[in-house]
Structures are given as C-alpha cells and as structure tokens.
C-alpha cells in the first residue's frame, strides 16, 4: 500500500449517512461499522511492520471498527466544504503479543471549487491531513535471522496532500475549456524508529483534458527525492 494513503480504500460493513440545512449553510454526516483492519507484523516485510491491512480480511480480533465523518458547507452555493473524520478499532490478532492492540485514525479535509470571473475559469482546491495512532507493541527484528530479537517504536504516522487545479471554463476556445492544469504536493512522516521507512515529499505537475464530465486524458510529472516518474492515463468515472 502507498504510505501516502494509509487509510482504507474499501471495507466490508455498513454506514448511515444524511445531511441537514442550517440557515444558509449545510452539514452532511456518515457513521459506519466495519470489519477491523489487520496489524501487519511479518518481519519479512520490515517497512510494513506496524501498518494496517484493510479490505475483505479475516476479522482476527473478533471485534469491529467504528467511526464517521462530518462535513460542513458554510457558503450558500456549497463551493466550500470542511470535513473531519475518525476511525477506531482493535487491529491485533488473538495472540498474546497483539490481542489488545488498537488503532485510532483522524483526518481533516478541505475542498473548494468555484468558477471565478476574474480568472476566467474554475478553481479547484483540495487538501487532506491524516494521522494514525497505533498502540505501541513489539515486533520481531528483521535484522536478526534467529528471530529472537524484538524491537518497538512509537507508532504514530501522518500523511497529507494539497492540490490546486485551474480550468479556463470561460474561455472562447473549446479546447482550452476542456483543459485543466494541476499541481499537487504530498508528504508522509513515518514513526520514529520504524524499519526501512523515510520521510516523503512529493511534487506532481499535471495536465488533464476532459472529453466529457466523466472521461479525461491525464499526463503528469512526479518529482520525489531520487525518484521521478511520468504518468499517462485515461480516467473514466461511473
């Protein structure tokens, strides 16, 4: 899994969601119960020790996770949204070392999208900050082939991203109206003392061409310390 996005992509569970009008503002909410994540302890993959695996995994702890998100849209046209999320659950298996290990995850997100006359186009700004607090426990040291040495670390990690996109939707040119410039800055701060993990700072410069509201051609250059890459893709939404 990508360290920059250490939360779940999909899970098995159920949720309850809704929204309400508060004067000119709006609020939305979602609360869920799901299968637990699983704590990774395998010394064969030291960079993953202390991280979580999600999805359709066995519920080894025999318990469930719960959490939710609340979003506030304070502007009447709903162009701005500020959200807060939380998730908590037991993530260890039933063995002596890990049966009581729990994880708490927090996130704050920001979204602003609005056509602005002075720049003759639509500005789309998004950002998110994530934090995972996993109970401290001991792991088999991958540097000891006998498997008899254990180590521990303060298992708190954070990641974030911020992104700005501009699309000249008020242009007279049909080509320019469908073209979008994007910049993204993302980072990951690993736990102190974790094995084979380093701080990440990532810069991405991209251009998108939207054939329609759900289909786009995307090209981007991503810069990271000692690791640059070019991405070309076609994205289709459903």
The pLDDT averaged over each successive group of 10 residues in the chain (238 residues) is: 60 88 94 88 88 68 84 95 95 79 95 96 97 93 87 94 97 95 96 88 97 94 92 89
Taking Cα atoms as reference points, which of 52, 36, 60, 70 lies closest to residue 157?
52
Q: What is the pLDDT of residue 57?
A: 57
- Report yes or no: 220 and 182 within 8 Å, Cβ to Cβ: yes
Tens of pLDDT, residues 132-187: 999 999 999 988 888 889 999 999 999 999 999 999 999 999 999 999 999 999 99
Q: What is the pLDDT of residue 119?
A: 95
Q: Tokens 């701080």 sit at which residue?
A: 199
Taking Cα atoms as reference points, which of 102, 99, 81, 106 lies closest to residue 6?
106
Q: What is the pLDDT of residue 5?
A: 57
Question: How far, CA to CA in Å, does 85 sit from each of 27, 57, 181?
Answer: 14, 22, 29
Q: What is the pLDDT of residue 197?
A: 85
Q: Residues 6 or more apart from 184 whose CB is under 8 A from it?
A: 161, 162, 163, 164, 202, 203, 204, 206
Provide the number of structural domains found in the chain: 1
Q: What is the pLDDT of residue 143?
A: 85
Q: Residues 6 or more apart from 212 whose CB is under 8 A from it?
A: none
Q: What is the pLDDT of residue 1?
A: 45
pTM of the model as a whole = 0.87
**Domain housing 78:** 3-236
């Amino acid at each position: 899994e990508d360290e920059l996005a250490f939360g779940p992509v999909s899970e098995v569970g159920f949720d309850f969601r809704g929204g309400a009008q508060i004067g000119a503002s709006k609020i939305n909410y979602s609360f869920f119960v799901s299968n637990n994540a699983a704590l990774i302890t395998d010394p064969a993959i030291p960079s993953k020790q202390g991280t979580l695996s999600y999805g359709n995994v066995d519920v080894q702890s025999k318990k469930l996770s719960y959490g939710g998100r609340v979003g506030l849209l304070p502007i009447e046209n709903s162009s701005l949204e500020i959200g807060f999320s939380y998730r908590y659950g037991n993530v260890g298996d039933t063995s002596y070392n890990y049966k009581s290990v729990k994880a708490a995850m927090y996130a704050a997100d920001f979204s602003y999208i609005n056509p602005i006359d002075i720049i003759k186009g639509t500005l789309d700004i998004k950002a998110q900050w994530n934090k995972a607090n996993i109970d401290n426990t001991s792991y088999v040291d991958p540097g000891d082939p006998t498997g008899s040495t254990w180590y521990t670390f303060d298992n708190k990690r954070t990641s974030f991203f911020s992104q700005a996109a501009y699309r000249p939707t008020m242009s007279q040119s049909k080509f320019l109206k469908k073209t979008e410039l994007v910049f993204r800055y993302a980072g990951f701060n690993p736990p102190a003392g974790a094995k084979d993990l380093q701080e990440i700072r990532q810069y991405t410069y991209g251009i998108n061409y939207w054939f329609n509201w759900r289909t786009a051609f995307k090209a981007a250059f991503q810069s990271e310390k000692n690791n640059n890459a070019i991405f070309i893709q076609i994205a289709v939404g459903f």
